[in-house]
Amino acid sequence: MDMPAVMGIGNALVDVINILEDDSLLEYFNLPRGSMTLVDSELSRKIMETTTGNKREITTGGSAANAIHALAALGASCGYIGKIGKDVFGAAFQKEFSLKNIRTHLLVSKKETGRVMALVSQDSERTMATYLGAAADLKARELSADMFEGFSYLFIEGYLVQDHKLIETAVDLARSRNLVIAVDLSSYNVVEANLSFLKRIIAEKVDIVFANEEEAYAFTGKQPEEAVSELASICDIAIVKTGKTGSIIQRGKEVVKQGIVTAHAVDSTGAGDAYAAGFLFGITRGYQLKRCAEIAALVAGKSVEVIGAKIPDSLWPGLLKLVNSEV
C-alpha cells in the first residue's frame, strides 16, 4: 500500500555555507548569533565578498526544501512548491528535485534565485543572512487546490511568515483537500515578529508544530517542558528540540523524551530540517511517537556530521539500515 505523501512549501534558496574562524563577522554585520535575518541583495553581496577566503560550500537549500529532500531519501513520496529565478541557481534547484523524483510546482520570477549566507561558528551553531530574491515573489494567488491533490501532509517552513496571506491560503487550500498541516517555527526572531499571527493560525488550523527551545520560548515564554505542553494544548502534536539534550514530544497527555545520537558535529545547518524529515517519515508510516522521535534523532545526528544541510548520497545506505532496523 502506498504511504501518505508529503507536500512542502517554502523559500527556494541556494545555501552558501561558510565556516567562520570566530564570531567577529557576526558582530560586524550585526547578525544575532543563531538567528535568521532577512537582508537585501547588497548586504548579501557584501557578506559573500567578506567571506571569500573562508571554507565554503554551495548547495541548493531552503528549510522546507531540505526536509523534503531528506524525506524523499528516506523513501517517502514528496512534492514541493516554491519560486525560483530564471538563472543557473534556479536550474540547479529544479534539477535536484527532478533527480529525486519529487513532484514540483516551481514558479519562475524575474528576480534572481534567493540565497542564504549560512555562517557556521566553531561550535557548529549557524547564523543565516537570507536574501529571498525570487522566493519572496511567491504569492497566494498563484496557489491552487489541485497542487495539493494526492498528498496527505503539508509541511510549511516558518520563514514564509513574511507573507501571512500566503501561509493562510496554503493552509486553507490544503485543508480543503484534508491534508494534515505541519509547521516548523524556523527561527526565534521570526516568531517574535509574527507572534499573534502564528498563535492564531496554529490554534485554528495547524496539527503538528516543530520548534527548537528558543523558538518555543519566543512563542510561549516558557522553558521546554512547559512550552511543549502549552503548544500541545493548541495542536495535535508538539515537538520541542532541545539541542544537545534531544527533544520532547507531546500529543494529548502522552509525552516522549528523546536523546540525541552520538555524532561528531561540524555544522548544525539543516539539523532541524533533517529532524522534521525523520519525524514526518515515521508519522506517515503510522509509527508510535517514540519511534518517530528515534528516527528523527538518527537523521538529525547524521546531518550535523557534514557541512551543509543535505546528507550526501553516499551516507544514506548506512543511515537507512539504521532507520529501518528496530531500535
Of 257, 254, 262, 255, residue with least CA distance to 242:
257
Q: Which single residue is written with the C-alpha cell 567562520?
A: 20
Mean per-residue pLDDT, 111-132: 90
- Mean residue pLDDT across the chain: 92
- Supply the pLDDT for residue 326: 55
Mean per-residue pLDDT, 220-229: 97
Chain centroid to CA 176: 24
Task: Report d(CA 73, CA 54) in Å as an integer.
Answer: 30
Q: Does residue 15 surpass a pLDDT of 60?
A: yes
Q: Does residue 13 surpass a pLDDT of 80?
A: yes
What is the β-pairing status of strands 126-133 and 113-120?
Answer: antiparallel
Domains and CATH numbers, the chain: 6-12+62-110+139-323 (3.40.1190.20)
User: Which residues neighbour 27 within 8 Å (Cβ) at sequence distance 6 or greater?
Assistant: none
With cut-offs at 50, 70 and 90, classify the pLDDT of residue 327.
very low
User: Which residues neighbour 313 within 8 Å (Cβ) at sequence distance 6 or greater?
Assistant: 73
Task: Report d(CA 121, CA 34) in Å as an integer.
Answer: 9
- Supply the pLDDT for residue 55: 85
Asked if residues 234 and 205 have their Cβ atoms less than 8 Å apart, the reply is no
Q: Which three cell numbers stand for residue 33?
A: 548569533
- Supply the pLDDT for residue 280: 98
Out of 34-38, 45-49, 78-82, 231-235, least confident range? 34-38
- Supply the pLDDT for residue 2: 65
Task: Report d(CA 310, CA 308) in Å as an integer.
Answer: 6
Mean per-residue pLDDT, 266-270: 76
Number of residues that this document lists for the chain: 327
Q: Which single residue is written with the C-alpha cell 483537500?
A: 177
User: Which helix (H) or strand (E) is 209 found in, with range?
Assistant: strand 208-212
Q: Does residue 51 surpass a pLDDT of 50?
A: yes
What are the DSSP calls for 230-279, one per residue?
Answer: HHHTTSSEEEEE-GGG-EEEEETTEEEEE-PPP---S--TTHHHHHHHHH
- Supply the pLDDT for residue 1: 44
Mean per-residue pLDDT, 65-73: 95
Mean per-residue pLDDT, 44-61: 87
Mean per-residue pLDDT, 298-309: 86
What are the DSSP calls for 81-132, one per residue?
Answer: EEEEESSHHHHHHHHHHHHTT-EEEEEEESSPEEEEEEEE-TTS-EEEEEEE
Asked if residues 220 and 196 have their Cβ atoms less than 8 Å apart, the reply is no
Mean per-residue pLDDT, 153-164: 92
Q: Which residues of 104-122 are buried (b: 16+ CB within 10 A; e: fewer)?
A: bbbbebebbbbbbbbbbbe
Task: Report d(CA 47, CA 154) in Å as an integer.
Answer: 33
Q: What is the DSSP letter of 327?
A: -
Task: Report d(CA 252, CA 182) in Å as an integer.
Answer: 16
Percent of the chain with pLDDT over 70: 99
Out of 78-87, 115-124, 199-208, 271-280, least confident range? 115-124
Q: Does residue 218 surpass a pLDDT of 70?
A: yes
Q: Which is more confident, 129 or 1? A: 129
Percent of the chain with pLDDT over 90: 72
3-state secondary structure (DSSP) of residue 74: helix
Mean per-residue pLDDT, 192-205: 97
Burial of 42 (0-12, 13-18, 19+ CB in 10 A): exposed
Burial of 14 (0-12, 13-18, 19+ CB in 10 A): buried
CA count, 13 A, side-chain hemisphere, 36: 27
